[in-house]
Amino acid sequence: MDADAAVEAVLRAARGKRSLTVSCSAVHSIMEGAMDPEHRHRLNALDLVLPDGQPVRWALRWRHGIRLATRVYGPDLMLAVCARAEQEGIPIFLYGSRREILDPLIANLLARYQRLLIAGAMPSAFRKLREAEQETIASEIEKSGAGIVFVGLGCPRQEIWAYENARLISLPLLAVGAAFDFHAGVLPQAPSWMQRSGTEWLFRLGQEPRRLWKRYLFLNPLYLLLVAGELLRIVRLGSGSQSHPRPVRVG
C-alpha cells in the first residue's frame, strides 16, 4: 500500500469511528519482530505495516515483487493525514513523547494547518501501566472527541501500544516513529538525497550516536543477512507466537 492509499484508509476508519492500527516500520521495527516471536505476532496483527525505510521498500520489491514508487515515511504520512483531517474537520489526538515536545509540536501543526482540530495531547508515562490506568487513558482518548490518534512512543513501544489499545479505542491509531520530534523542531531530518538513497540512518546516527549506535551497527547488517537468507530460501520466519503475547501495557 502506498502513502495515498494509506491516507484514504485512515480517513475511512476515522469517519466510521473504526479501529485501524498502522505502523510506519523501518529496519529497526522489522528486526524487533524478526528476533521476538511475540512482537512478530503483534506486528502481523496490525492492520497496516507500511515501509517507512527505503531498505524495507527495496526488500518488498526483491522478495515479493511489490513495486512502490516511494516509501511511506511516517513524518510525511502524519502531515498528509493532518491536512485531510483539517479539510474534513476530524479532530486528532497526540499520544506519547514528553510535554516539552508536545507543546511545540502542537504549535507547529497549528501554524501549518490553522483549522486543524486537536482534541488533546498526552505525554508518555515512560513506564508499564496498570490495567486500570491503561483503560483510563483509552477512555480519555475516546471521550476527547478525537477521530485519529497519532502515537509517538518509539519502536517497538508504539507498535505494542497500538496492538494492545486497538480493542479499547475504536479509532485509527498511527505509530509514526520520530515524527513528533521532527515536527516539533527538536530533531532535524536528513537531507532528501540521504532519504532517497537509504542512508538516512547515517544522518540519524550522527545526531544521536549514544542512543542509536547499537541499533544501526548491529541490526542493519543483521537485516541484510536476513533479507539475503530469504531471497536464497535458506531463512523463513514463522508468523510469530501462536498464542496472544503477554500484556505489556506500555504508557
| pLDDT tens for each residue of the chain, 251 residues long | 789 999 999 999 999 999 999 999 888 888 888 889 999 999 999 999 998 878 778 777 777 777 777 888 999 999 999 999 999 999 999 999 999 999 999 999 999 999 999 999 999 998 999 999 999 999 999 999 999 999 999 999 999 999 999 999 999 999 997 999 999 999 888 888 888 887 887 888 788 888 877 777 788 888 777 777 776 677 676 666 666 788 889 98
Do β-strands 92-96 and 118-122 pair in parallel, antiparallel, or remain unpaired?
Answer: parallel
Residue 47 lies in a domain: yes
Residue 37 lies in a domain: yes
Query: Whats the size of the chain, residue-wise?
Result: 251
Instruction: Look at residue 242 in the predicted model and tell me its pLDDT.
Output: 63
As a whole number of angstroms, the distance between CA 28 and CA 15 comes to 32
Residue 188 lies in a domain: no
Q: Looking at the 3D structure of the chain, how many domains does it have?
A: 1
Instruction: Look at residue 235 in the predicted model and tell me its pLDDT.
Output: 62
Domain that holds residue 177: 3-182+207-231
Residue 148 lies in a domain: yes
As a whole number of angstroms, the distance between CA 158 and CA 156 comes to 6
Task: State the pTM of this model.
Answer: 0.91
- Sign for the CA dihedral angle at 125, 9, 62, 191 comes to negative
Residue 197 lies in a domain: no
Instruction: Look at residue 139 in the predicted model and tell me its pLDDT.
Output: 96
Instruction: Look at residue 241 in the predicted model and tell me its pLDDT.
Output: 67
Instruction: Look at residue 100 in the predicted model and tell me its pLDDT.
Output: 96
Instruction: Look at residue 240 in the predicted model and tell me its pLDDT.
Output: 66
CATH assignment at residue 34: 3.40.50
Residue 216 lies in a domain: yes
